[in-house]
Amino acid sequence: MEVGSQDKPPPTLLELLSNTLVLDATLPYLALPTVLRLSAVSTAFHRLIYETPRVFRFLDLHRCRGAYVSPSVMPIDSGGHSWRAERLDENLTEDEFYSGPLRGIHSKLSKMGVMKDVQTLVLDGLGSVTHDVLSDILLSDQYHVRLLSVVACKNLNQRKFQRLLHYMCRPSRPEGSPRLKGVYVFGTNEAVVKQSQSRMSTGREGGVTALLGAQIGASTTSPPTITTNYPQSNPNPWFSPTGFVLPHVILASNTWEETLRVCRDIVVFDAVLCTHMHSEMAPYRSDAMNTYLASSGLTMPIATHALGPDGCAGCGAAPEDAPVWGQSDVTAFPLVSPPPFSGRLVDAVRPPSIPAGSSSKQQRLVVGCTWCLSDRHCQCCHRYWCGRCYDPQRRKRALQLEAQAEHDEGDAGAVAEELKRAEGASTTIIKVYNGLCTQYCAFSEDVAAGNGAMWG
């Protein structure tokens, strides 16, 4: 380097953030208060922040102190609190009482010109989220929220919110509406997902001896090795064999099936209906189960289990017309957590890449409900068998006929003929016993007599 040469000074922060690529890559790491403080540094920063629409397209308020409602506020009869001067009376509705903190923040941000640019709005866990607040945001022409996350909002009236979504997706809605494209409302059962992934990576210690009811002193030597092609760090439980992924609290008194059906192809949720597997499994479900589903109105329940793209453990087939990424419409896939910063639906449903060890060359969405997977899904390794490979009802019928043949010698010929029709080379071999597959999980360790086993 020559002595007289001068190095060019490094770019300033303002120059860096003026580059749209740098700005887009930086904003996801900055909280809203940080962005607002940055805009107050100088006139140039203020102009950059408020004149660039993409700056406020993602708004996460779930950790905002001003929108937080303390559990001490519950129940509503406790009266006035620091964030509200008046006490609850006949002129103040329940929604107005709880929504006070969020309405205050919403009003301030609207005056600052922030809310009009928001495309992804995250309100998870806020007690101040009510039906009235969401109605004001989603039905107003002033806002353009495309992705909304309201997971675990305790004061949100689910029935009212469902009716709001029904209204937004009505057949007579104006052209181009609704602007809302996706709703995160279910969340995933993180504890179940982590436990499932841990089991797949390490195996179930002790096999059947680790199950509830196993006798004290049972041998746990030579634990089975559960092989899996999926890494424990798979970011999306819907596209890996993680089993039950929805919180039980949602399904205990679930009324969302009709809402997902009404909003189908219009608004996407972080769950999907058991559309493809449910119709395919109808012939293989028991008559009692089909009768119960019909009487309960569960013609198409919500899919609760993620089975991974590999499909059936026997033949590798997936349910007919199961969504395939890159071929099916994006509205056929569930939303992926966390909500994307871009606010685009295609980014919100984009699945992770196919695991290196997967037998499937396509990223397929293979999911099912509890009814379809009864007696054919392993709760440990999450393999499942389709109706063509395993029919538990035929297996039960074959066992009944075998017992009948032993006690009904007079009509042995007719019983033998019916038994022959009921049996099959592959469909009657037990594949799932007490929720565990017999090949990999339930009977993989030796529990026979003479080896310190529980039945020895």
DSSP string, 232-252: TT-S-GGGTT-EE-S-HHHHH
Residue 455 lies in a domain: no
Residues 52 and 64 in one domain: no
pLDDT confidence of residue 401:
52
Instruction: Name the E strands within 45-119.
Output: 58-60
Residue at 146 is within a domain: yes
Cα-based distances in Å from 444 to 207, 374, 383, 438, 440: 7, 22, 15, 7, 6
- β-strand 432-433 against 182-184: which pairing, if any? unpaired
Whether 173 and 202 map to the same domain: the answer is no
The answer to whether residues 98 and 128 belong to one domain is: yes
Q: How far is 424 from 418, CA to CA, in rounded Å?
A: 12
In-domain check, residue 279: yes
323 with 240, same domain: the answer is: yes
Q: Does the residue 435 lie in any domain?
A: yes
Both 172 and 300 in a single domain? no
Residue 252 CA to residue 247 CA, distance in Å, equals 9
The segments of the chain whose pLDDT lies below 50 read 4, 76-86, 191-234, 252, 412-413, 415-416, 418-420, 422-427, 445-456
Q: Is residue 5 part of a domain?
A: no
Amino acid at 408: D
- Which two structure tokens, joined as six digits, stand for 321? 């017309």
Same-domain status, 83 and 168: yes
Sequence-ordered strand ranges (E) for 109-188 = 120-122, 147-149, 182-184
Residues 164 and 215 reside in one and the same domain: no
Do 158 and 242 lie in one domain? The reply is: no
> Using an 8 Å Cβ cutoff, are 236 and 179 in contact?
no
Exposure on the CB side of residue 52, measured as CA atoms within 13 A: 20
Q: Give the C-alpha separation, 346 to 308, whole Å.
A: 20
Q: Which two tokens stand for residue 109?
A: 């941000």
Residue 374: inside a domain, yes or no? yes
Same domain assignment for residues 233 and 332? yes
Q: Which residue has the tokens 């992926």?
A: 336
Do residues 202 and 277 share a domain? yes
Evaluate whether residue 8 is within a structural domain. no
> What pLDDT does residue 12 have?
92
Q: Tell whether 37 and 165 lie within a shared domain.
A: no
Q: Are 219 and 205 in contact (CB under 8 A)?
A: no
Choose the final residue of a domain: 341, 356, 385.
Answer: 385
Q: Domain count of the chain?
A: 4
Give the CA dihedral 402, 406, 411, 416, nearest 10 degrees: 30
Q: Could you tell me the residue range of the domain that residue 33 belongs to?
A: 14-56
What's residue 235's pLDDT?
Answer: 55
Within this chain, do residues 337 and 402 fall inside the same structural domain, yes or no? no
- The domain boundary residue, chosen from 341, 366, 385: 385
Is 454 inside any structural domain? no
* 17-22 CB contacts, 8 Å cutoff, 24+ apart: 17/48, 18/48, 20/52, 20/54
CA 315 to CA 187: how far, in whole Å? 32
Given CA atoms 25, 26, 27, 28 in this order, what sign does their dihedral have?
Answer: positive
Alpha-helix runs per DSSP H in 272-411: 276-281, 287-296, 345-348, 392-407
Which of 385, 405, 429 terminates a domain? The answer is: 385
Cis peptide before 351 (omega within 30 of 0): no
For the entire predicted model, the pTM comes to 0.77
